[in-house]
Amino acid sequence: MRHHLILRVITKLLVGAMMLFAFYVQFHGDYSPGGGFQAGVIMAVAFIIYGIVFDLDHVQRVLPPWIAHKMLAIGVLLYSGTGIVSFFQGLNFLDYTAFSPHHPVHGQHYGIFAVELGVGITVTGVMVSIYYAFAGRTSEIRDEDW
């Protein structure tokens, strides 16, 4: 795909805008439609489109597979850690008032933000890891045999 100059230029422009939009959806998820899952998918699609237009080696230099795998664990730990913090303070699991006992509304915002961030990180890592797994496979059938 070396000869697709226009596609490459447009992709480079779109990937940055997609990532910016993913951050917008992530950070405004508790005020408007969206949140961690949607932001994670948008962020992963930005990496996947970059990998499709350029190639797997280029996208793996930007986001190495070991980082995508670590994102899975970090996101789940952030999500579950949010619940464990409240649990060890004698409250119910994922009771967000633990984050600001004197002002429960602020605690709700902090807790929702932490949970949604964990979901976003996990979804991005999962989607990119699935793409790496499928794109990295060697073909068992040559293109001419189709």
Identify which has the larger pLDDT, 144 or 39. Answer: 39
Mean pLDDT of 52-75: 95
Helix and strand numbers (H, E) in the chain are: 5, 0
Structure tokens at 116: 């949604």
In this predicted structure, what is the pLDDT of residue 130? 97
pLDDT(110) > 90: no
Check pLDDT > 80 for residue 87: yes
Torsion of CA 52, 56, 61, 66, to 10 degrees: 110
| pLDDT attached to residue 124 | 97
Please state the pTM of the whole predicted model.
Answer: 0.86
pLDDT higher than threshold 80 for residue 34: no
